[in-house]
Chain A
Amino acid sequence: MTQHSRDLSRRRLLFGGAAVGAGVLLAGCTSNEEQPTEAQTKAANAPGGNSEPGKQVTIGFSAPAADHGWIAAITNNAKAQAGTFSDVEFKTVEAGADAAAQRAALSTLISQKPDVIVLLPHDGKELNAFGLEAMKAGIPVVNLDRAFPDAKAYRLQIKGDNYGMGVAAATYIIVQLKAKNVANPVIGEIAGMDELELTQERSKGFADTLAQAGFKVANRRAARFTADSGQQEASQLLQALPRMDALWNHDDDQGIGVMAAINQANRKEFFMVGGAGSKKAIEDIQADDTPLKATVTYSPSMASSAISLARLIGQGRGMSDLVELQVPKEIILASETITKENAGDYLKLGF
């Protein structure tokens, strides 16, 4: 070996060693050995849970006076949940028949100076201005289920997943039909009130998911969330489809009528999926003696959760299981699928 080559090899060694050293150093940088502070995690059994009483909070509540089981359950749940807290005063105003009536009712609510307002608007777009106004006046607004377009109009938004409901219903139907090896299935759909955005989202989720499996809705009728309209639309849908494989009905309340129509037409060649999760529907699923085999939830229990969270917001506390000191800004409930297997668990949430 020449002198020159020895020099080279020494240089190589030098560079090589430096490179390895740098590599180790870099690797060391990525593994940050420093422990996170206590504040950034939450001990599993930390004291100070949300159920401990805090400062007195007045919660104002408003939901439409619609005569529908789901809305009735929303109001009842909210009232019952507020009743469980010793530190919550619950003030409710009926929202009347439309957005204008609700706005008028809400302005009387503001004058009573509640700490937090929980509100299921007739229409999120129409009551957006109210949300802005209340927030500006320093009253946090919890929007229940019908979103405000403006993010400044609410402190917290808690809602169901309408698109996800359609997805869940379609997913159940696809799995069942694939298991039965049905090619070209005939799928029917009884929607709720078509002019509502939530109905459109549900149908879109349903159609999109079916399309991914190569299926489509053969016939769709829109009822009005009432049993009698459900019966009417279902009776006509059954006329239109002399043979059907699966049916999704958006709402279990109108489902009473849909089931009646199915019985009256004496049809049982298909299975049906419901929506929302009423007590009667869950019982029927559990009993397993009707075409109703599943329902996808859109649970009015969200009203209870909204009241619990409104209390925390009023007290300036966060959710005890989460690390953050304040309640999050948006919560979207997952739409769950209730079948015969898990119906027992969900029965207590049925309305």
Chain B
Amino acid sequence: MSDVKDTSTAAPARGTDLPAQSPPVDPAETVLASEKAGGRLSWWHGEGGEGARRNLALIGVLVVLVIIGAATRSDLYSRPDWVWDNVLSILKLASVVGVVTVGMTFVMIGGGIDLSVGAIVALAGVWCTTVATQSYGAGGMIFSALTVGMAVGLVNGLLISYGRLVPFIATLAMLVAARGLAAEISDKQTQVSDNGFINGLASNNVLGIPLLVYILAAVVAAGWVLLNRTTFGRRTVAVGGNPEAARLAGIDVKRHTLLLYALSGLCCGIAAVMLTAQANSAQAAMANLYELDAIAAAIIGGTLLSGGRGTITGSLLGVIIFATITNLFAINGLTTEAQNMVKGGIIVAAVLIQQVQFRSLTQFLGRNRLTRTT
């Protein structure tokens, strides 16, 4: 469960306390600094355990949700086969948004935001289900979805890194434009996928587990390795934490930013194939508001909106929590309106709790005491 160590909470004025010449790539340095300041701490209580503690809190939320589910629908939870089936249904529900969220987490850690993910999923989905594309079979469909996703991501990246557009604006423009193009290509119709292999991705199981869940697991694993065990991941954190310092440290910030958006686009392409498989079709209005679902999941997973911090595991847990809420409301026959209100509440609550609990509680109390005496 280890993840990228946090540099921001220890040093609120990120970057200013770091010598600009030295690469801030190694967060261990800042961890050491904070430990010196706050006294020697064990791994668990120190910055290293930060991500782990955060994720444990999310798992706690999950457990609570499951307990509520079991209490309210005990008739269903008393059947082991149904429970297993339900777990799989939650994972399937989480799979598409989960893949999108992995890409989003990278972009957000890198200090950006990608509002166009839902639109890219729709565009890639529509592109890969046109009659012409379907005639090339499953391979052609997957290839076109991934290529379109990545190409749109590259355009986003070019606009942001070399066109110097603010990510919010560039991807907002892409959100509108990509959905427009998708509507144009599909002629506003729902395009049905007749491809047995693609549709089978959502209906077939291997060893009792749906293929979609394997795809999610593979993307999450790849994302985790990329973020935590490669230079690319380290650079992502550095670029998001302090772009100027990263630039001085010799990182090509522009090129890296470009790659991050392309990565997000690629994830959207994968998600488009998965969603097309699930719905047996694609249309320009699909993946509605996935950008918000992905951002919300990343945020309750502990990713900073300002960049420099975030974990793949946390984002995954965030997505699963939202899927579990949807499931909980569905099995109890409650309305979508109530469900959305609870989701909103959980986003706020999660961030509030994390702020209080994880901003080194002792420091927080100490400062209060200080202000009271002065």
Contacts and interface: CB of A to CB of B under 8 A. Distances in A.
A51 interface: no
A235 interface: yes
Contact of A236 (B280, B282, B326, B337): B326
30 contacts: A65-B183, A67-B182, A67-B283, A67-B284, A68-B190, A68-B285, A69-B190, A194-B336, A194-B337, A221-B330, A221-B336, A222-B336, A224-B285, A226-B285, A228-B279, A228-B288, A236-B89, A237-B330, A239-B89, A240-B73, A240-B330, A240-B333, A242-B79, A253-B190, A256-B281, A257-B280, A257-B281, A260-B279, A264-B202, A266-B203
Interface string A246-271: 00000001001101110110100000
A67 B288 contact: no
A194 B336 CA distance: 8
Contact of B287 (A228, A237, A256, A260): A228
Given A219-B330, A227-B280, 4 more contacts: A66-B188, A72-B187, A236-B89, A240-B330
B283 A231 contact: no
Interface in B65-111: 73, 76, 79, 82, 85-86, 89, 92-93
Nearest to A280: B192
Contacts of B93: 232, 235-236
Contacts of A237: 330
A218 interface: yes
A302 to B, nearest CB: 18
Contacts of B189: 69, 72
Nearest to B182: A67
Contacts of A218: 333
Contact of A259 (B182, B280, B336): B280
A71 interface: yes
A312 B284 CA distance: 36
B144 interface: no
Nearest to B126: A67
Contacts of B186: 67
A242 B76 contact: yes
Contacts of A230: 279
- Among B93, B189, B327, chain A packs the most CB atoms within 10 A around the CB of B189
Nearest to B179: A67
B199 interface: yes
Contact of A226 (B179, B192, B288, B327): B288
B264 interface: no
A229 interface: yes
A220 interface: yes
The 6 closest A-B pairs by CB, nearest first: A236-B330, A67-B284, A72-B188, A260-B280, A227-B279, A240-B331
Contacts of B281: 227-228, 256-257, 260
Contacts of B202: 260, 264
Interface of A is mostly: helix
B275 interface: yes
A266 B204 CA distance: 10
Interface string B260-304: 000000000000000100111111111110000000000000000
B335 interface: yes
Contact of A228 (B86, B286, B332, B333): B286
Interface residues of A, number: 39
Nearest to A259: B280
Interface in B185-222: 186-190, 192, 199, 202-203
Contacts of B286: 226-229
Contact of B89 (A66, A71, A226, A235): A235
B188 A219 contact: no
Contact of B86 (A227, A233, A239, A259): A239
Given A67-B186, A228-B278, A256 B192 contact: yes
B85 A239 contact: yes
B229 to A, nearest CB: 34
Nearest to B82: A242
Contacts of B327: 236, 239
B89 A69 contact: no
- Among B82, B89, B199, B287, chain A packs the most CB atoms within 10 A around the CB of B89
B336 A264 contact: no
Contacts of A239: 85-86, 89, 327, 330-331
Contacts of B192: 256, 280
A266 B89 CA distance: 13
B204 to A, nearest CB: 9
Contacts of A226: 190, 279, 283, 285-286, 288
A236 B336 contact: no
A229 B283 contact: no
Given A239-B327, A239-B330, A67 B278 contact: no
Contacts of B331: 236, 239-240
A77 to B, nearest CB: 13
A256 B285 CA distance: 14
Contacts of A260: 199, 202-203, 278-281
A61 to B, nearest CB: 16
Given A227-B283, A232-B93, A220 B333 contact: yes
- Among B82, B186, B190, chain A packs the most CB atoms within 10 A around the CB of B190
A235 B188 contact: no
Nearest to B288: A224
A204 B284 CA distance: 30
Interface string B160-193: 0000000000000000000100110011111010
A256 B337 contact: no
A139 B374 CA distance: 75
Contacts of A233: 330
A280 B89 CA distance: 27
A265 B288 CA distance: 23
A240 B333 CA distance: 8
Contacts of B199: 260
A25 to B, nearest CB: 68
Given A222-B335, A235-B89, A242-B82, A67 B330 contact: no
Nearest to B125: A228
Interface string B211-251: 00000000000000000000000000000000000000000
A135 B335 CA distance: 40
A259 B281 CA distance: 11
Contact of B335 (A194, A235, A236): A194
B329 to A, nearest CB: 8
